[in-house]
Amino acid sequence: MKRYSVFAIAREALRYHQGWEKAWASPAPKSSYDVVIVGAGGHGLATAYYLGKNFGITNVAIIEKGWLGGGNTGRNTTIIRSNYLQDPSAAIYEKARSLYEDLSQDLNYNVMFSPRGLLMLAQTHHEVRGYLRTVHANNLQGVTTEWIGPEKVKELVPIMNIDGPRYPVLGALYQARGGTARHDAVAWGYARACSAMGMDIIQQCEVTGVRSANGVVTGVDTTKGYIGTKKLGIVVAGHSGQVADMAGFRLPVESLALQALVSEPIKPCMDVVVMANTVHGYMSQSDKGEMVIGGGTDGFNNFTQRGSFQHIEETLRALIETFPMISRLKMLRQWGGIVDMTGDRSPIISKTPLGNCFINCGWGTGGFKAIPGSGWAMAELVAKGEPGPLAEEFNMYRFREGRFIDESVAAGVAH
C-alpha cells in the first residue's frame, strides 16, 4: 500500500495522477481462512482490521453480499456521540468515539471526523431530569458531557427556535467532542488498511449456508462457492437473523426500516449536531451544505430498504417547528436502511451455540458511531474466543438472564 500524504499528492500532480493504486484488492476467495467475517460494512471491516492490528491475525476474508459499505454504513446520518446512560454502553461508545479521534492518522485515510459538538435537546421537564441524570452518569463514566441552558443552546444554534409554543427548548445535553464523520470513508479506510494487511475483501458474495460439524463451524457456502474457516464472525445488520438462522440459532432481533433524508445544499448555518428526541428528529449540516435529517423507525418488520412516507412527514414536521428556516428547503434524497433491533435497544457482541462462531449485531438505529469500538471488541472476542471487558455485557444470553442494558428508556428512541 502506498501511503497517502502531501508528497504523494505532489508526486501524482506531476504525472497526471497515473500512479494512484486501487485502494483495496478484489481477489477471488481462497479455499479456506483462519477467520471469515460475514459482512463488509463498517463493523465487519473494523473487526477484521483490529484482528490484524491487535492480534496479528491476517489470514482473513471479509465477505459481502452487496458492495462494500453499501448497507447501513452508507445509509446513516453519520452522528458520533457517546453520551449513553448505562455503563457498558458508555464504555463501548466512548471507546469508539476516542478511536475516531485519530482514525484518519491510524488508517492513513481521511475519515473527516469532525468533533463539532452534539446537542440533545430537552423539550419536556421529564427530559430535563433524564438528561441531568445522564450528565451525572457520564461524568462518573469519564465521558465529558455537560448540561446547558436554553440561552447557550441558542448561542450554539442561532437558527433554532427555542421558544416554540408546544415544545420549548428547556436546555440540552451537550457533548462537545461528539460530531460526525464521512461514513463511506470509514468503510473505505478500513477496507484499504485490511487489504494492505493481506486480507481478502470479497464483494458480491452472499452467504447461502453455514456448515458445521460437532458444534463448530467448518465453513460457509456462498454464491462464489464454499469457503472453509477456522472461525466465523457474523457481523451483519438487518439480515443478522437470517444468517443466524443458517447457523442454526435464533436471535432476539427484529428488522425494521429506518429512513433518512438530505436537503438541497445551503450555506453553512449550523455547526453542531442537534437531536430532538421528544419531537423525534435529528439534523446536522454536511460539509457539502446539505441538511442531513433522520427520524424514527417504522413500526413493522420490513426488509425492503424503503420506509413509510408518513414517518418522513412526522420527522420534518417536528424539525420545522424547531428550525423554522428549513421549511422552504427542498429535500433532495431520501432512503431507508434495515436495522436489527433488540429488546433493550443495545447491541449483541456474543459467543453463540457454535463454539467457533461469534456474532456482532443488533446495533439498531445507532451503529455508525460505534464502528471502531465494536470492531475492537469483536476482534478480541474472535481472537481469544472470550469477550473482553468491552463486550462481555453485550452477550445475547442477557435476555434470558434479565441483565438488560436498557437504552430504549435511557437514550430515547433515537440512537
Q: Which residues bind another protein (CB under 8 A)?
A: 239, 241-242, 250-255, 299-304, 308-310, 342-343, 399-401
What's the start-to-end Cα distance of the chain, in Å? 36
Q: Smallest distance from the beta carbon of 92 to another protein, in angstroms?
A: 21
Q: What is the dihedral of CA 23, 25, 26, 28, to 10 degrees?
A: -170
CB of 305 to another protein, least distance (A): 11
In our burial notation (b when 16+ CB lie closer than 10 A, e otherwise), range 97-107 reads bebbeebbebb
For the bound state, the minimum distance from the C-beta of residue 324 to another protein, rounded and expressed in Å, comes to 24
Give the residues across from 62 on adjacent strands.
Answer: 37, 201
State which residue, 131 or 363, has the beta carbon closest to another protein: 363
CB atoms within 10 A of CB 353: 13
Of residues 198 and 299, the one with the C-beta less far from another protein: 299
Nearer to another protein, 244 or 326 (CB): 244
Rounded to the nearest 10°, the torsion over CA 244, 248, 254, 257 is 40
Q: Which three cell numbers stand for residue 202?
A: 470479497
Q: Which is nearer to another protein, 301 or 327 (CB)?
A: 301
Work out how close the CB of 207 gets to another protein at its nearest, in angstroms, rounded to a whole number: 14
Comparing CB distances to another protein, the nearer of 94 and 393 is: 393
CB of 221 to another protein, least distance (A): 18
The least distance separating another protein from the CB of residue 309, rounded to whole angstroms, comes to 6
**85 vs 341 by CB, closer to another protein:** 341
Q: Cβ closer to another protein: 20 or 303?
A: 303
In whole angstroms, the minimum distance from the beta carbon of 249 to another protein comes to 10
Residue found under cell 434470558: 400
Q: Least distance in Å: CB of 293 to another protein?
A: 20
Q: What is the 3-state secondary structure (H, E, C) of 188-202?
A: HHHHHHHHHCCCEEE
* 85 vs 141: CA distance, rounded Å: 9
Q: Based on CB atoms, which residue is closest to another protein, 359 or 379?
A: 359
d(CA 279, CA 317): 9
Strand partners, 179: 80
DSSP string, 45-111: HHHHHHHHHHH----EEEE-SSSTT-SGGGTS--EE----SSHHHHHHHHHHHHHHHTHHHHHTS--
Quote the cell numbers at residue 396.
Answer: 445475547
